[in-house]
Amino acid sequence: MAQATDTLPHDDHHDQPDTGIKRWLFATNHKDIGTMYLVFSLIMFFVGGAMAMVIRAELFKPGLQLVDPMFFNQMTTLHALVMIFGAVMPAFVGLANWMIPLQIGAPDMALPRMNNFSFWILPFAFTLLLSTLLVPGGAPAGGWTLYPPLVLQGGDYFPMVIFAIHLMGISSIMGAINVIVTIMNMRAPGMDLLRMPLFCWSWLITAYLLIAVMPVLAGAVTMLLTDHFFKTSFFNAAGGGDPVMFEHIFWFFGHPEVYIMILPAFGIISEILPTFSRKPLFGAVSMVYATASIAFLSFIVWGHHMFVDGMPLAAQMFFMMSTMLIAVPTGVKVFNWTATMWRGSLSFEPPMLFAIAFLFMFSIGGFSGVMLALVPADFQYQNTYFVVAHFHYVLVPGAIFAIMAAVYYWLPKWTGHMYNLTLAKTHFWLSTIFVNVLFFPQHFLGLAGMPRRVPDYAVQFSDWNMVSSIGAFGFGLSQVLFAIVVIQCIRGGQKASSVVWGDALPTGLEWTLSSPPPYHSFITAPEIK
């Protein structure tokens, strides 16, 4: 031991970050890496958002005005890939990086070098993905699901998209392994699994999902690659393969992926609602079991994405039933959140506002999901704007509102400053109003029969499309406020106390540390009472 300290730099005693660019390039600190994840996610949120603005501008009125249909399709495809893999998932990993060591009383993430690796793959992956816009033939335009045979007819973008997805998968798997190892191995003594904060629980379960399904996506896109370049026949009926097989493999990944994007959000809401209701979470243990059930069920519902593919009736019935079953554990969660607020002493700080909005609007998305689960109804709804409205309600006022709630909840803890509450509340109200103006009319459009992924539409859809586009521009502009609030808060502001939220008295180990917390969170494990 003595020899070790002589010959190796005694790194673990450094309390100060490196200066300059080295701090970020060579980062091993969970807070630095978490910050990079969150900043990257915010940038991608605006990149993907800009693409959404192009889409909604083109759909503002019928006819082709701004972009040609090919470019429109590239925008819908890239918007999805950027938002899913670039904005939502990295934001949750960034929050995990920041909060899991703080919440379980650990000095850092368990595997700090791998943590850096999983972050720094992402900028390269998205460089690859976005540079497809510059190659001959343009970016992928067949939808983010990359269905063959359409995607196999692509030009030079094709291998770029495949490898970008491989890189994102490698990054996600390493991030997920790090989360599981950290939670299983780095908890402070006395932090039993069932005493662990709900955010960590939801991330633990999410990480299992990630490790189980990201390799399957890698396998699926590898088969696309070999079908395109190496003469395999996985998705070619003449050779005995089946294009529908891709859909099965893809959605075996794709449906758990949906829960990867919402389970951490559940964890965040389960942290915030009790704080600002000044009551403990109602049914905390049942929340854990509900999350685990949702995760399990997510593996056996993938067929509901492909009801019109001509699968056997028995399979349709099975996937319909199993999908509707998910409403049970989800209902448990919504009930528990409501019961947490029941007769609580509520206050409406920005994180609480976003959490309550999540509860309402995520439920709307959940209900339309149950409608889509019904096979005969789905035959009507499939490939219409109803589907678009459904998953945007789950992902925007669901996942993204939860991310914003989390940022507003923990930002003073991270920076040591309180942000501009008035501006944040303005951001909340503008976002909430506009997100409904944006997405609610899409339910009507879909039920009236407007197909998705079209740059032009029949004139009877004009009014609601215009409303929806106005909502989109309003929502997009409101997000500039979010960036302003965050940047202002990083640069300075009123000093935040260690508890931040005053009389709300949030529970959890992160609030026992100063704001901002020391560079290495818990060098010695805290005592859990």
Known catalytic residues are 79, 108, 144, 171-172, 255, 257, 259, 270, 304-305, 330, 333, 452
CB atoms within 10 A of CB 9: 8
Among 49, 62, 112, 283, binds other proteins (CB under 8 A): 112
Under rule CB under 8 A, residue 145 binds other proteins: no
Stretch that binds other proteins, among 3-11, 449-457, 458-466, 506-514 (CB under 8 A): 3-11
d(CA 227, CA 208): 30
Residue 173 or 395 with smaller CB distance to other proteins: 173
Phi-psi region for residue 310, left (φ > 0), alpha (ψ -120 to 50) or beta? left
Convert residues 122-141 into a mask of x (bound to other proteins by CB under 8 A) and - (unbound). Answer: -xx--xx-------------
387-416 residues in contact with other proteins (CB under 8 A) are none
Q: Any residues with CB less than 8 A from the CB of 170 and at least 6 apart, and which? A: 118, 121
- SS3 assignment, position 21: coil
Residue 30 or 79 with smaller CB distance to other proteins: 30
d(CA 494, CA 512): 19
- SS3 assignment, position 507: coil
| Minimum distance of other proteins from residue 127's CB (angstroms) | 8
Q: Which two tokens stand for residue 276?
A: 């600002």
249-268 residues in contact with other proteins (CB under 8 A) are 249, 252
Residue 137 or 451 with smaller CB distance to other proteins: 137
Among 66, 70, 184, 487, binds other proteins (CB under 8 A): 184
Among 188, 244, 430, 454, binds other proteins (CB under 8 A): 244
Q: Which amino acid is at 458?
A: A
| Minimum distance of other proteins from residue 177's CB (angstroms) | 5
335-354 residues in contact with other proteins (CB under 8 A) are none
Residue 50 or 184 with smaller CB distance to other proteins: 184
| Minimum distance of other proteins from residue 263's CB (angstroms) | 18
Beta bridge partners of 384: 451
| Minimum distance of other proteins from residue 150's CB (angstroms) | 19
Stretch that binds other proteins, among 81-89, 206-214, 293-301, 463-471 (CB under 8 A): 206-214
Q: Which two tokens stand for residue 517?
A: 């917390």
Evaluate whether 360 touches 398 at the Cβ level (below 8 Å).
no
472-372-251 Cα angle (round to 5): 90
The closest of 235, 53, 46 to 146, measured between CA atoms, is 235
Evaluate whether 278 touches 504 at the Cβ level (below 8 Å).
yes
Stretch that binds other proteins, among 21-29, 60-68, 89-97, 138-146 (CB under 8 A): 21-29
Under rule CB under 8 A, residue 110 binds other proteins: yes
Number of amino acids touching other proteins (CB under 8 A): 83
Evaluate whether 61 touches 465 at the Cβ level (below 8 Å).
yes
Determine whether 97 is exposed, middle or buried from the number of CB atoms within 10 Å of its CB (0-12, 13-18, 19+): buried
| Minimum distance of other proteins from residue 1's CB (angstroms) | 5
| Minimum distance of other proteins from residue 362's CB (angstroms) | 29
293-322 residues in contact with other proteins (CB under 8 A) are 312
Evaluate whether 172 touches 214 at the Cβ level (below 8 Å).
yes
Question: Buried b / exposed e across 111-135, counting CB within 10 Å, b at 16+?
Answer: bbebbbbbbbbbeebbebbbebeee
Residue 166 or 427 with smaller CB distance to other proteins: 166
Under rule CB under 8 A, residue 153 binds other proteins: no
Determine whether 310 is exposed, middle or buried from the number of CB atoms within 10 Å of its CB (0-12, 13-18, 19+): exposed
Residue 44 or 504 with smaller CB distance to other proteins: 44
Under rule CB under 8 A, residue 4 binds other proteins: yes
213-242 residues in contact with other proteins (CB under 8 A) are 213-216, 218-220, 222-223, 226, 229-234, 236-242
Output Rg (C-alpha) for the chain, integer angstroms: 23
Residue 9 or 376 with smaller CB distance to other proteins: 9
E-strand ranges in 66-123 read none
Under rule CB under 8 A, residue 464 binds other proteins: no
d(CA 252, CA 229): 24
Among 93, 180, 389, 395, binds other proteins (CB under 8 A): 180
Residue 229 or 348 with smaller CB distance to other proteins: 229
Stretch that binds other proteins, among 101-109, 270-278, 341-349, 486-494 (CB under 8 A): 101-109
Q: How far is CA 257 from CA 172, 252, 301, 318, 332, in A?
A: 11, 9, 12, 20, 21
| Minimum distance of other proteins from residue 319's CB (angstroms) | 15
Distance linking the first and last C-alpha atoms of the chain: 33
Convert residues 41-80 into a mask of x (bound to other proteins by CB under 8 A) and - (unbound). Answer: ----------------------------------------
Under rule CB under 8 A, residue 12 binds other proteins: yes
| Minimum distance of other proteins from residue 212's CB (angstroms) | 5
Give, for 404, the enclosing helix (H) or strand (E).
Answer: helix 401-415
